Amino acid sequence: MELNILTICYLIGSITFIAGLKMLSHPESARKGNLVAAAGMFVAIIGTIFLYEEEGVKLGNYIWIFVALSIGTLLGTMAAKKVKMTAMPEMVSLFNGMGGACAALISIVEFNHLMHRGAEGQSADGGTLLIIFAGLIIGTISFAGSMVAWGKLNGSIKDFSFKGQHIVNLLIFGVIITLSAYLIISGDPAASSLFYVIFVLSIVYGLFFVLPIGGADMPVVISLLNSFTGVAAAFGGFLYDNPVMLTGGILVGSAGTILTILMCKAMNRPLSNVLIGSFGGGVSGGSGSKDQGAYKEISITDSAVVMSYAKKVIIVPGYGLAVAQAQHVCHELEKLLLDKGVEVSYAIHPVAGRMPGHMNVLLAEADVDYGSLQEMEQANDEFPSTDVVLILGANDVVNPAAKTDPSSPIYGMPVLDVELAKLVIINKRSMNPGYAGIENELFFQPKSSMLFGDAKSVLQQLVTEIKSL
């Protein structure tokens, strides 16, 4: 009877994961989707703790289990409540890394169990060893890579590469696969020390895998690492014959893989180019090496006037908007313009910000109507009939060099065609290059005007000016 109840708990968990993921596809149901999936996970965890048994023996160690659960719940809740929207990508990377670490630890524990049984004369199953090694390698690479991504996003780790690094990476990966194959085929307990050599090499590979990648490729890397963690968790589900772990891992792994492919398509670059090309990492040349000429500035008053009397305004949010925590005042500006009869919408580039969907989440926090958010293809059709484009901290995703300069590292990446509008107002703190490390030739075009300052402060001044008109 208990086994049947546990099976029902796992079934509930699996169904809620699928339903929750489906609900995440739309902002209006995303919050509820998170809660539904979390409820299913809670049912599965409680069912496992109290109902799971192996060879007639239940888990036990309830004090240790609930102390660990309490600590993890407390730390996770505090981190989620205190994190700023600008730091959300770092938190995603950090949490994703913890998932990879858990999958790797499961493989370590289960390998030690197998070796203990081998010492007692029980032979190790090759299929089980394959699952253990797959979980160890993928989980460890995800953990190490996510920690590097976390450090890069918060500025504590810089891009690093050396001549022949990709060859070194391939050699390390080859050694990992060779040693794993040897241990799986031989099943020799005496060679178990090689297991930890594989573990260390996987950490090194995970570090070298992400270190040279920088710039605008970081959202793709985060998505890819997320899929790695999901796959590693799925292997844990195989090990424990746990349908909830298996379902959750497959969902995360497949969703992350699909998102990675879609983002690469949005950048018009194959995944191999992202991983091998080290896009944005210490680039030079391209548009940054040209004499772009002079730029012109526009005042707050002039900006307020042209937007107030425009028929159509498109706002392009970028990381600068997130840094300034200016999403709420941006929404206030939108409402003021709508009251004046101005048509207002937002143009969202697929890789704007530091993680997939960063701008969507940012604007949703300010209760911006989801219907006013336009994807890149839709927005590009609208720019020619737009009177004013207001760019808030976006840089590389509006750089025309992606279309005109073959020497640019972002050449071939689809961008927002903001230069087709009648007037382009660019809000930036300074003329410093964007995350990809290259200068933006849009800033120097005749229809472009710079509006320098912190995004929140500038938007507040615009709101004040528009109210006085």
Q: What are phi and psi of 202, to 5 degrees?
A: -65, -35
Residues 237, 451: Cα–Cα separation, whole Å: 53
Using CB atoms within 10 Å of the CB of residue 277, give its burial: 0 to 12 exposed, 13 to 18 middle, 19+ buried: middle
With CA atoms as reference, report the closest residue to 398 among 366, 430, 440.
440
With CA atoms as reference, report the closest residue to 251 among 32, 9, 49, 40.
40
* Cβ-count burial 18-41 (b if 16+ within 10 Å, e if not): bebbebbeebeebeebeebbeebb
What is residue 123's DSSP assignment?
Answer: P
- End-to-end CA distance of the chain: give it in Å, rounded: 73
Q: Which two tokens stand for residue 469?
A: 């008109």
Q: 80, 361 in Cβ contact below 8 A?
A: no
Residue with tokens 């895998």: 209
In the residue annotation, 241 being an active-site residue is answered as no
Helices and strands per DSSP (H, E), number in the chain: 17, 8
Residues 314, 297: Cα–Cα separation, whole Å: 19
Q: 233, 298 in Cβ contact below 8 A?
A: no
Q: Which two tokens stand for residue 353?
A: 């910000």
What does the CA dihedral 148, 151, 155, 160 come to, rounded to 10 degrees? -20
> Which residue is catalytic, options 125, 159, 217, 396?
396
Find the farthest-apart pair of alpha carbons in the chain and give their distance in angstroms, rounded. Answer: 87
Q: Which amino acid is at 77?
A: T
Task: Map residue 178 onto helix, strand or coil.
Answer: helix
- For the chain, state the CA radius of gyration: 25
| CB under 8 A, 24+ apart: contacts of 130-133 | 130/184, 131/235, 131/238, 131/239, 132/107, 132/235, 132/239, 133/107, 133/180, 133/183, 133/184, 133/198
Catalytic residues: 396
